[in-house]
Amino acid sequence: MSLSDRIEGLRTRIQRACAAAHRDPSSVELLPVSKKQPLSLIREAAGMGFTRFGENYVQEGADKAAAAPDLAFVLLGPLQRNKTKPALQHFVEIQSLDRPELAERLRRHAEELDVVRPVWIQVDLWDEASKLGGCPEGDLPALITAIGRDPRLPLRGLMALPPPENVSAFAQMAHLRERLQQDLGQPLHLSMGMSGDLEAAIAAGSDQIRIGTAFFGERVY
């Protein structure tokens, strides 16, 4: 199947899911996850209107960002403290903010580099942090305090990688988003849902779905 066929199939699924949920399809971003994909294929996707791509590894994403400065790359994978500076230099957004000390280091380096980078808090409500990363619900207040409404790190939303067998996970995230929006007095986006569960994620209110192999095809390792 060609790249264009895969994209068309995903767009059809998104449109149908949005129709079932009485949502505008334009309210859901399809973010291609381009880790371990060649720049040539990313360029092909860019020719079809995509300008933002998700990457899981700082070095790989930084190399692609340097080679394609006209495109925007979003960091999805775990971020180590010693890689905060290159992450801020090469990624337009960071979706894997999950602990206060990381927020504090990002704030220092954002000020040093004089950059503004929206951040998403990666949330873990299901005790998956040991393998996937994420901030437990009980630690969210400390993390939000560490971000501190810093204008250089505006909080854009919540990202999650819920376990696939948990049918209530998306509803849990939607409820958490609603509560935090009230507490913070600001809108928050939700990034959740992949190829196997995008319909359920959209029905629960996800604003962004992240699609890898179902978009690009098998990865090259």
Q: How far apart are CA 180 and CA 158, in angstroms?
A: 10
The whole-chain average pLDDT of the chain stands at 95
Its pTM stands at 0.95
Q: What is the pLDDT of residue 131?
A: 61
Task: For residue 18, give the 3-state DSSP assignment.
Answer: helix
Least confident of 25-34, 88-97, 165-174: 165-174
pLDDT > 70? residue 130? no
Q: pLDDT over 90 for what percent of the chain?
A: 92
pLDDT tens track for 135-162: 999 999 999 999 999 999 999 999 999 8
For residue 51, which phi and psi values (nearest 5 degrees)? Answer: -120, -10
β-sheet bridge partners, residue 124:
136
Q: How far apart are CA 215 and CA 211, in angstroms?
A: 6
- List, in order of start, the domains of the chain with CATH numbers: 3-214 (3.20.20.10)
pLDDT tens track for 54-93: 999 999 999 999 999 999 999 999 999 999 999 999 999 9
Q: What is the pLDDT of residue 147?
A: 96
β-sheet bridge partners, residue 115:
none
pLDDT > 60? residue 50? yes
**Token representation of residue 91:** 């990624």
pLDDT > 60? residue 166? yes
Q: What is the pLDDT of residue 170?
A: 96
